[in-house]
Structure 1
Amino acid sequence: MYVERLPVPALAGDLRTLWIQRVGDEPYVQRHLPTGGVELHFPIGGRPRLLGPLTRARLEVLPAHLTLVGLRFHPGAAPPLPMPLDELVDQHVDLAADRLAEAVATAGSPERALETIQALLPVRAVDPLVTEAVRLLMPWHPVGIDSLAGHLALSPSQLRRRCLQAVGVSPKALQRTLRFQGFLALAQAGAGSIAGLAADAGYADQAHLSRECLRLTGLTPRALLGGSVEACACGHDHSASYLPFLRDSFKNRRNGVPSLAR
């Protein structure tokens, strides 16, 4: 069982989604995909874990009967961390127990744990230039990295350095990840064929999408989606997580998108 929730309005600028996941009588293989942000995982009865920014899929075997509460942050937002984000890329690390973990452990139920997390969650200050860069790197904004740096009055090397510090990955890697997340959002919305979705998400063609999907997930698009374009193979409803992509994509398709020069 997997249920996603939207964060409370006060945290909407930092958190993309929260969820509760319950594993049944058999272990479950979880395929974590790159999202552009970090995640906090709170296994009920276990130690909290941080999933750093991913550049490729990471497999994890969740034990039977596990109940887990999770948080996914927007790119550039994160809780206070013990080391720089670029040192946590593709890492899944145990965190020391703290006030938040103790509050989750004593919450009494996963639903109450979600409420407790949102009431106590500390979030570090976000770099406003990186926030603007993330907005312009969404798949509905065709933009070259040099043009983006110039728009932000930064050199390409300055933009790269600030993005590594705030997000953990380079602007180009983040753009690739956000474009793929846009494809997944449109696929779950049932918005067309894979070729059509590839074009809508900003890929040159379906072959371009297939190469990027293999690079990021280790699977072809159809294998990842379970042979259809209506839902992911796991059968989970990710509508809360994909809402920012769907809202922007359909709005921009209606109104047209002013883009920076490639």
Structure 2
Amino acid sequence: MTAMLTRPPVPALRPFVRLLWAGFTPPSPAASAVREHVLPTGCMHLALRWAGPPLHLFHGPHDAVGYFPGDAVVGGARASYYAKEAGAPGWSVGAQFEPGAAGALLRTSAQDLAERHTPLADLCGSSAIALQHRLQEQPGPAACLQVLEAWLLARIAAQVRGLHPGVAAALARLHGGAPVQQAVQASGLSHRHLIAQFRDATGLAPKQHARVLRLQAALAGLQAPGVPAAGIAADAGFSDQAHFTREFHTLTGVTPTAWLRAAPAQRNHVRVG
């Protein structure tokens, strides 16, 4: 996107929403021939298009047709990348969710939304359709962000449960770079019980979440000028360079060298031709 507006939500939403965003992608003659890999972040996302063609996704590298999940979708947390059409013109608005948001805002488990895109109307019914209509009436992205924010505030469950303390403790350890076993110990739960609670809140198992965090640390390192690849691998928690290259390709669909060559403006959106 060449024009992007981002901001944090109002305080009441911050336990559930990390970021609100709106952006515009201008028309591009070659856009329909170009795909991009959207890399895993460990988070759920909400995206609504209010002008332009719908989101065009592909089941894999050999899928020449793809599919259209709709104009308003929830992208569940993923353990690897997915492929979409790059550069489709139009306006869109959305949110990046925190762990626990699925239950608080969408009345479901993050595990039920993981590894796929779900039409928002399937989760929220007529409320989602009304939201799309409101967005289409707005004069620009800032107004759309206000409409989306108000809709999310109204969605907060009256008896919302906070994040399970064991999951919160495990997440804190994982984001601090600790191995999964230390996160399990910090949670105070059995490994099996933590996996169930963790999937319900985030959509991923702790080990999958840790893999995505290592990838994100590596991407940040690759963006830093002058840092050798061996240092990036070690700093991100990979056992060696071979482990780094193998994991990077599994999670992104490209090699570290190909990612650097693509020089993505947004590090989690890499064009693949």
Matched, 1:6 2:7: yes
Contact 2:219 2:267 in 1 (8 A): no
- Secondary structure (helix, strand or coil) at the match of 1:107 reads coil
Q: Which is worse superposed, 92-101 or 64-73?
A: 92-101
CA contact (8 A) 1:36 1:74 kept: no
1:20 Cα offset (Å): 2.8
The size of the alignment, in residue pairs, is 231
- Structure 1 residues 14, 189: closer, same or farther in 2, change over 3 A? farther
1:52-131 equivalent positions in 2, closer than 5 A: 52-61=76-85, 64-78=88-102, 80-81=105-106, 83-96=108-121, 97-121=128-152, 122-123=155-156, 125-129=161-165, 130-131=167-168
Q: Which moved more, 1:197-206 or 1:212-221?
A: 197-206
Shift of residue 21, structure 1, vs aligned partner: 3.2
Gaps of 5+ in 2: 55-70, 122-127, 269-273
Q: Which amino acid letter does the alignment assign opposite residue 146 of structure 2?
A: E
Q: Does 1:37 align with 2:38?
A: no
Give the superposition deviation at 1:172.
0.5
Deviation at 1:2, TM superposition (A): 4.7
1:9 CA displacement: 5.3
Q: Please give the secondary structure, in 1, of the residue aligned with 2:77.
A: coil
Q: CA deviation at 1:205?
A: 2.1
Amino acid at match of 1:36: G
Q: What SS does the aligned partner of 2:23 have?
A: strand
Most deviating of 19-28 and 208-217? 19-28
Does residue 20 of structure 2 align to residue 18 of structure 1?
A: yes
Q: Distance in 2 between matches of 1:36 and 1:161?
A: 16
Aligned ranges for residues 1-262 of structure 1 at < 5 Å? 1-3=2-4, 5-8=6-9, 10=11, 11-26=13-28, 27=31, 29-45=35-51, 47-61=71-85, 64-78=88-102, 80-81=105-106, 83-96=108-121, 97-121=128-152, 122-123=155-156, 125-129=161-165, 130-138=167-175, 140-145=176-181, 147-190=182-225, 192-226=227-261, 233-236=263-266
The Cα of 1:98 is off from its aligned counterpart by: 4.1
Task: Calculate the TM-score normalised by the size of structure 2.
Answer: 0.74
Distance, in Å, in 1 between the alignment partners of 2:233 and 2:77 is 24
Q: How far 1:189 moved relative to its partner?
A: 4.2
SS in structure 2 of the partner of residue 137 of structure 1: helix
Q: Is the 8 A contact 1:77 1:126 kept in 2?
A: no
Distance in 2 (CA, whole Å) between partners of 1:82 and 1:62 is: 31
Deviation of residue 52 (structure 1)?
Answer: 0.8
| Partner Cα distance (1:58, 1:76) in 2 | 23
SS at match of 1:22: strand
Q: In 2 relative to 1, CA 13–223 (structure 1 residues): closer, same or farther, beyond 3 Å?
A: farther
C-alpha displacement of 1:196: 1.4
- SS of equivalent residue, structure 1 residue 80: helix
Q: Extract unaligned runs of 5+ from structure 1.
A: 228-232, 239-262
How much has 1:168 moved relative to structure 2? 1.1
Alpha-carbon distance between aligned partners in 1 of 2:105 and 2:174, rounded to the nearest angstrom: 24
- Cα distance in 2 for partners of 1:30, 1:15 equals 25
Maintained 8 Å contact 1:3/1:237? no
Q: Distance in 2 between matches of 1:109 and 1:4?
A: 11
